[in-house]
Amino acid sequence: MREILGRRRKPLFRRGGRSALLGAALHCATEWQWPVLPGVGLRPAGRQPAGGRLGLGLGERAPRRCNCPDPDCVVPGAHPFDPGLLAATTDARMVRWWWANRPDAPVVLATGGRAPCAVSLPAVAASRALTALDHFGVRTGPVIAGPTRWSLLVAPYGLPELGELLSEQDWVPSSLRFHSEGGYLVLPPSPTGAGKVRWERPPAAGPAAPWLPKVATIVDALVRASTATPDGGSRLAY
Q: What is the pLDDT of residues 67-105, one digit of tens each?
A: 999 999 999 999 999 999 999 999 999 999 999 999 999
145 touches 197 (CB < 8 A): yes
Q: What's the whole-number mean pLDDT along residues 204-226?
A: 90
Q: Which residues pair with 89 in a beta bridge?
A: 36
Q: What is the pLDDT of residues 147-180, one digit of tens each?
A: 899 999 999 999 899 999 999 988 888 889 999 9
- The CA-atom distances, in angstroms, between 44 and each of 36, 94, 108, 137, 209 are 23, 24, 20, 45, 34
* Helix axes 17-26 and 92-101, enclosed angle (nearest 10): 160
Residue 227 pLDDT grade (very low, low, confident, very high; cuts 50, 70, 90):
confident
Residue 126 sits at φ, ψ, to 5 deg, of -65, -40
